[in-house]
Amino acid sequence: MLDVPARMTTEAPPLADEPAVRKPNLLSVDDAKAMSLATMTDLFKSHINPGQLHFMKLLGFHKVKIETASGMYYTDQNGRRILDFFGGFGSLAVGHNHPRVIAARKAFQDEERHEIAIAFMSQYAAALAKNLAEIAPGDLDMVFLGSSGSEAMEAAIKVAERAAGAKRPKIVYAENSFHGKTKGVLSVTDSPLYRGEFRLTENGIKVPFGDIEAIRNAFESDPEIGVIVLETIQGGGGIIEAPATFWQQLRALCDKHDVLWIADEVQCGMGRSGRFFAFEFAGVVPDVTALAKSLGGGKTAMAAMIARREVYMKAYGTPKTAMIHAQATFGGIGEACVTAIEGLNVMYDEDLMGNAERVGDYLISELKRLQAKYPQIIKDVRGRGFMVGLEFQDFSQTLPALLRPMVGMLDDKLKGSLSGFVGAELLRDHDVLVAFTEYNRNVIRLEPPLTCETAHVDAFISALDQVLARGVARIVRDFIGAQVG
Ligand SMILES: Cc1ncc(COP(=O)(O)O)c(C=O)c1O
Domain C-terminal end among 311, 330, 349: 349
Note whether 192 and 328 are same-domain residues. Answer: yes
pTM of the shown model: 0.95
Of 320, 349, 378, which closes a domain?
349
Element (H, E) at 314: helix 309-316
Helix (H, G, I), strand (E, B) or coil at 422: helix
Nearest CA to ligand 1 atom 16: 267
Domain co-membership, 296 together with 328: yes
Residue 452 belongs to domain spanning: 352-484
CATH of residue 385: 3.90.1150.10
Number of domains in the chain: 2
Q: Does residue 93 lie within any of the structural domains?
A: no
Residues 336 and 440 in one domain: no
141 sits in which H/E element = strand 140-146
**Top mutation candidate among 148, 267, 279 for ligand 1, by most atoms within 8 Å of CB:** 267
Amino acid, res. 447:
E
What distance in Å separates the CA atoms of residue 330 and residue 324, rounded to the nearest whole number? 16
Q: Does residue 37 fall inside a structural domain?
A: no
| Whether residue 341 sits in one domain with residue 303 | yes
CATH code, domain with 332? 3.40.640.10
Shared domain check, 286 and 177: yes
Residue 176 Cβ inside 6 Å of ligand 1? The answer reads no
State the pLDDT at residue 76: 98
Q: What pLDDT sits at residue 1?
A: 44
Question: Do 358 and 345 share a domain, yes or no?
Answer: no
Tell me if 264 is assigned to some domain.
yes
* Ligand 1 pocket, residue 90 CB under 6 Å: no
Check residue 188 and give its pLDDT: 98
Do 259 and 118 lie in a common domain? yes
- Confirm or reject: Cβ of 251 under 6 Å from ligand 1: no
Choose the final residue of a domain: 349, 381, 416. 349
Ligand 1 site, residue 266, Cβ cutoff 6 A: yes
| Cβ of 234 less than 6 Å from ligand 1 | no
Q: pLDDT at position 64, please?
A: 97
What are the residue ranges in the chain where pLDDT is below 50? 1-2
Q: Ligand 1 centroid to 178 CA: how many Å?
A: 7
324 located within any domain: yes
- Residue 312 maps to a domain: yes
Question: Is 244 found in the same domain as 125?
Answer: yes
292 C-beta closer than 6 A to ligand 1:
yes
Nearest CA to ligand 1 atom 9: 149
The DSSP-derived string for 180-230 is -SSHHHHTT---HHHHTT----S-EEEE-TT-HHHHHHHHHH-TTEEEEEE
